[in-house]
Every structure is written in C-alpha cells, then in structure tokens.
Amino acid sequence: MLGMVARGLSFGVVAEAYERFRPGYPVELLELVMGYAGGSVRSALEFGAGTGKATRLFAEAGIAVTATEPDAAMLAELRKNVPGNVTAVLAAFEDLPLDSSYDLVYSAAALHWTNPEGRWDRMAALVRPGGVFASFAVPIQLADPALKEAVRAARAPYLENDGVPSPDGTPAADRPMEWPGTELQESEWFTDVRQAVIERRLTMSAHDYVGQLSTVSAYVMLQPADRDQVFRRILEVLPETVELNAEIHTHLARRHS
C-alpha cells in the first residue's frame, strides 16, 4: 500500500504537463451520470481532482463542486482552470471531514490511489442517502496493436509494465464486473451498481503522446536519466501521429436510503 500512496502523490512534479497533455472528459460522461442520478444533482464532492479535468465538466453544468486534491501543485493548476462554483480544498480522501454529505461523490482516475481500509464506510458517509457515487477510469492505449507492442519492447529494459496494478488483484477477464464494481457489489452501503464504457478515440502527435506518458505514475517514478532514455526510445518507434483508444470505464452506485 505504501507504494501505491507514493505513486498517488507523485503527480505534483508534472502538474503543468498533466494539465497540458491529459485529455478532458466528454459531455457523454456527464449525461451518463446525470441520467443515472435521475433527479437534480446540486452538490458534488470530487476527490483526487488533479488539475480539474473532470471538475470542469460537472461545474460547468451548474453543480456546486467541492474539488479535493492532496497535492498542492496539482490544486494550484486546478484553481487556474475551473469556474467560480468550485470550492478547491487541499486534502486527501482519507482526511476529508465526514460532517457534510453530497448528492454526488465522484473520482476521475483517482480511486485506486485511496486507502482500501475503511474506503466504503467513508464513502457512504460522504454520499447522502439516495445519492450517487461514480468512478471513472481512462486506460489510454495505442489503438494499433503493432505499435503497442513496439512501445512495450522499447520501454521494457527500463519498465516492464506501465499500468496501475489491479486493486483487487484479479485480471479483468476473470470477473463479470471490473473493480471497483466488484467491491461496490459487496458493500453494505451501495446498491444498483452499474458498469458502462464510453467509447472514445483520440489522435495526437507522437510528442504529445509521450507528454501524456510523462504524467503516468510508472514513468514519473523512474530515475530522470532512465525516463529520458525511455521516452527517446519510444519516440523512435512511433509515427508522427498516433491514434489512441481512450475509452472511459465508468462505475455507478446508489447509496442506500
């Protein structure tokens, strides 16, 4: 767990790159969440908000968002980019006070960095009864299998795997629902658990793709000289532009009334 915490707190050194190179979230995601919520969502809590990529989507829909983030550099970037109905708070999920609850509590590519001990009890305290919890993950991958293999081979001497370990330790193919749906289904606090994938393809330059990789924790944790060498090797095997599979994996659950 300490390794995951270290990786989760590693992004501040690349906050500006994170804002520049990480893709935002499409309106289809907002529509999916609001359709599931059914009623009006007036208040939302976001944890691990980063530079506010998902914050903007919900705040611009008129929702009062409290965006929390444990890294000061990431939060500084967020404050530059979000509308006035966002309250930005420097705090880790585990340190959030439990004296307020929200219509919606959500996380974009950050839930796996939270401490599993007491995670769902704490989440249930933050979601009002009948309210919604939502989690989004974006496992960005090269769309071309041959390019994907070429990049894997290029980075292999320095980094065998650039993904995030599965929090429940089982391959996605071995279960009908991906994490965190697996844990939500077992939780005493939540019901009506749903999993959906929003299909999305993006095209960007090879240099911007490497810029995006520079914000991925596995690369951030490399020694600087090794990281530079990995990126040089990757650029050598990529064409000028690349197509990415940037589908959004979503999980939704309702807090028991």
So what's the pLDDT on residue 172? Answer: 56
This prediction has a pTM of 0.88
Domain range summary for the chain, segments of one domain joined by +: 2-140+165-201+246-255
What confidence score (pLDDT) does residue 15 get? 84
Would you call 243 exposed, middle or buried from its count of C-beta atoms within 10 A (0-12, 13-18, 19+)? middle
- What the block records as the tokens of 181 is 């749906």
| Average pLDDT score, the chain | 91
**Strands 141-142, 201-205: parallel, antiparallel or unpaired by DSSP?**
unpaired
Q: Region 40-50: what's the mean pLDDT?
A: 96
Contact (CB, 8 A) for 46 and 107: yes
What's the pLDDT at 3? 43
User: Whose CA is closest to 27, among 5, 50, 66, 58?
Assistant: 58
Q: What is the pLDDT of residue 6?
A: 43
Predicted local confidence at residue 163, as pLDDT: 75
CB 95 within 8 A of CB 66: no
Bridge partners of 108, per DSSP, are 136
pLDDT tens digits, 105-164: 999 999 998 999 999 999 999 999 999 999 999 989 999 999 999 999 999 999 988 876
Tell me, what's the pLDDT at 169? 60
- Tell me the pLDDT tens digit for each residue of 184-233: 999 999 999 999 999 999 999 999 999 999 988 889 889 999 999 999 99
Q: According to the model, what pLDDT value does residue 39 have?
A: 81
Render the burial of 186-215: b for 16+ CB within 10 Å, e for the rest.
ebebbeebebeebebeeebebebbbbbbbb
CATH of 2-140+165-201+246-255, one of 1.10.390.10, 2.40.50.1020, 3.40.50.150, 2.60.120.20: 3.40.50.150
> Cα separation of 244 and 140, whole Å?
7
Q: Which two tokens stand for residue 134?
A: 């939502």
